[in-house]
Chains A and B, each alone.
Chain A
């Protein structure tokens, strides 16, 4: 076991950790927003929207994330330059990066899984609470904002914690599209120093620590609301 490489590689490791966390935060935040829309579409949307949302969830949950990522990066990425004017636009430096494609595909994938969780939670909110809100004269948007959604999120919280951890464990896939995330740094260390296991172990410790932090954070959030069991 040789860990002396850490001294020369720590700036790279830190940068990789930042990329990993950034990917996680972006995909969870935007994915969650998207998931609310998808879940509502499945629960109260008109027929065509319901079908669309259900189809979206089935397709994204039925195919590997790796294929979705490659479809976006290689597939859509190879079609993008054909859009006239795009290469000259200010967006091009972002659209060229693997990070952009990784963030988009992780977000879309996370939204599909999260929507399914939220759909169940929306349906699990006791009817009486919604009726109580309505009898107070709340409009349906107020009801959604003040009662239905907060209650559903609270019900789904333990599952959401699990989904976030799963999402964290999916982020190393970004290394296959040239993102210098934590795993990619470990890969680079292996190529430079020919050490196979040590970099993997260091990176693993980081992922496990992040997992613990996430589960702790969700426990704190869950404890905000006292629940009688």
Chain B
């Protein structure tokens, strides 16, 4: 073991140290999570409306999607979707007579994690929409609002406070699930750490450092979500 002085040098953000690699990894973890989160929200909103308003086949397909994604281990899902997705896209392209493309690791990671998030989001949004008092939606309908306008002006603002705790949980889980992307070889924080640790042989130090980075992401997110919830709950009566 070397002295603490050289351990600090190993973590320094400038090239002899590996701190920069870790920070870049942390940045790409946050970006992947953010991208997947947004994709998940989009899928979730569409899915929730489909589950509540759709006809039988739509509801069946959505049920299959949410049940399957929530029953299969994330690692298998991510690896399966990663290979099936890139392979499937190229097969479609070649069937259309187009050249195969090399899919960007970042896009694939966002898409795969987004599909996983979407299933959980669907359930969160479905519950949040169901928790809106029916009278509010009926009142909007009585005022002659069209479904689109009703959704944008009444349902969306009213479901947010109900959905926020679930959304916060999902954000925490996507930042941690993004570590699984390391297994398929895209360089985010977990893989960057492994590379840094493997090169310097200071495994303990680097894994501890990346755990601290993940923890920092979680703790900061906690603060942000608490602030968001108190903002969206303003004007609501406080319970307990």
Contact = CB atoms under 8 A, between A and B. Distances in A.
Interface of A: 58-59, 61-68, 70-71, 74-79, 168-173, 176, 183, 186, 196-197, 200, 203-204, 207-208, 211
Interface residues of B, number: 37
Interface stretch (B130-138, B156-164, B202-210): B202-210
Contacts of A77: 203
Contact of A207 (B72, B211, B218): B72
Contacts of B125: none
Interface string B101-144: 00000000000000000000000000000000000000000000
A71 B211 contact: yes
Interface in B177-212: 177-180, 182-183, 190, 193-194, 197, 201, 203-208, 210-211
B150 interface: no
Contact of B210 (A62, A67, A204): A67
Interface of B: 71-76, 79-80, 83-84, 87, 172, 175-180, 182-183, 190, 193-194, 197, 201, 203-208, 210-211, 214-215, 218-219
Contacts of A74: 194, 197, 203-204, 207
B214 A62 contact: yes
Contacts of A70: 190, 193-194, 203, 207
B206 to A, nearest CB: 8
Given A62-B215, A75-B204, A196-B83, A67 B71 contact: no
A75 B208 contact: yes
A211 B190 contact: no
A211 B182 CA distance: 26
Nearest to B176: A64
A176 B76 CA distance: 13
A61 B203 CA distance: 21
Nearest to B84: A197
A62 B80 contact: no
A75 B202 CA distance: 8
A67 B76 contact: no
A63 B176 contact: yes
Given A62-B214, A168-B73, 18 more contacts: A59-B211, A63-B176, A64-B214, A65-B176, A66-B182, A70-B207, A74-B197, A75-B206, A79-B204, A169-B72, A169-B73, A172-B76, A183-B75, A200-B80, A207-B71, A207-B76, A208-B71, A211-B71
7 contacts: A67-B193, A70-B193, A75-B204, A76-B204, A78-B201, A168-B73, A200-B80
Contacts of A207: 71-73, 76
A169 B74 contact: yes
A153 to B, nearest CB: 23
Given A171-B73, A207-B76, A63 B204 contact: no
B221 to A, nearest CB: 9
Contacts of B214: 62-64, 67
A188 to B, nearest CB: 14
Contacts of A208: 71-72
Contacts of B182: 66
A85 to B, nearest CB: 18
A173 B190 contact: no
Q: Max chain B CB contacts within 10 Å: which of A70, A168, A169, A170?
A: A70
Q: Max chain B CB contacts within 10 Å: which of A58, A71, A208?
A: A71
A66 B73 contact: no
Given A196-B83, A211-B71, A204 B76 contact: yes
Contacts of A68: 211
B169 to A, nearest CB: 11
A200 B194 CA distance: 26
Contact of A172 (B73, B84, B178, B210): B73
Contacts of B83: 196-197
A58 B194 CA distance: 23
A84 B208 CA distance: 24
A155 B71 CA distance: 24
A3 to B, nearest CB: 16
Nearest to A59: B215
A63 B209 CA distance: 11
B197 A67 contact: no
A170 to B, nearest CB: 7
Nearest to B181: A66
